[in-house]
Amino acid sequence: MGSYGPADPEPSSPMRTILAFDTATEYCSATFVCEGTVNAEVERLPRAHNKHLLAMIDRVLDGTPLDGVDVIACGIGPGSFTGLRIAVSVAQGLAWSREIPLQPFCSLEAQLRAAVAADLVPTSGRVLSTLDAQIGQLYWRWFEYGESHFSPMGPPQLSAADAVSFPNEPTAIIGNGIHLLDVLVGFSDIPRVGEVELCTAPMARHLAQSPESTMTLKAGDLMPRYVQDTVGWKKLTEQGSRD
């Protein structure tokens, strides 16, 4: 477990206590932000998130009960089908038991924020965040960011490499979907970073300091973001009773 220091030395508004985690990629990460301190843990655990996520959460909480958590933030994808179901299910279970509001976040954004925090990409620009969808296609989303803003340039997409759009003056491309883009002419001229350790600490710090960034949900309303229209997922409120 790593302590990432104060989330903001002079926060402009009261910071929320945030428990955040993401399992959309091969990395499993959990972060707890409380009173300016950030405890985070991340480990590369392909196909083993379900065995380690709850233990990670317990370690980053470090004795803080769930009643002391203001918001549970959850990466909803896009990404691994199984990984998304694990994160969403755990978030729903924890939130339901204590009526804690949930705050979903885009895993492609969390990946980029982790890359920025690790100094893998410039501190401002237009960066494409990608993930290999394992079907000859990739998940992708462009972001434009700077010192005072961080904005997606459209919704998350799933497509073949030749359908990826490129804006003017791209800064970099990150993520393990990069290899699928090698077929594109001129791609090699754009700085790129391959697999990124998706630590949720930067995302959690942002959410703790920016309560208006996304709307919170009740446990029964949280859903994975698969991007494809052919994948089914029922909200807890739609699943009915189980005998």
Token pair belonging to 195: 């697999």
- Is the pLDDT at 242 greater than 60? The verdict is no
Q: Specify whether the CB–CB gap between 158 and 139 falls below 8 A.
A: yes
> Could you state, in order of their start, the residue ranges of all structural domains in the chain?
2-107+198-238, 122-193
Quote the CA–CA distance of 174 and 90 in Å, as a whole number.
Answer: 28
Residue 30 pairs in a beta bridge with: 21, 41
Residues 6+ apart with CB under 8 A from 229: none
CATH number of 2-107+198-238: 3.30.420.40
Which CATH architecture group holds 122-193? 2-Layer Sandwich (3.30)
Helices (H), 121-189: none
Domains 2-107+198-238 and 122-193 share a fold: yes
Report the predicted TM-score, pTM, of the whole model to 2 decimal places.
Answer: 0.87
Please tell me the distance from the alpha carbon of residue 48 to that of residue 51, in angstroms, as a whole number: 5
Write the pLDDT tens digit of every residue in 163-215.
999 988 999 999 999 999 987 766 778 899 999 999 999 999 999 988 666 67
115-144 pLDDT, tens digit per residue, is 999 999 999 999 999 999 988 999 999 999
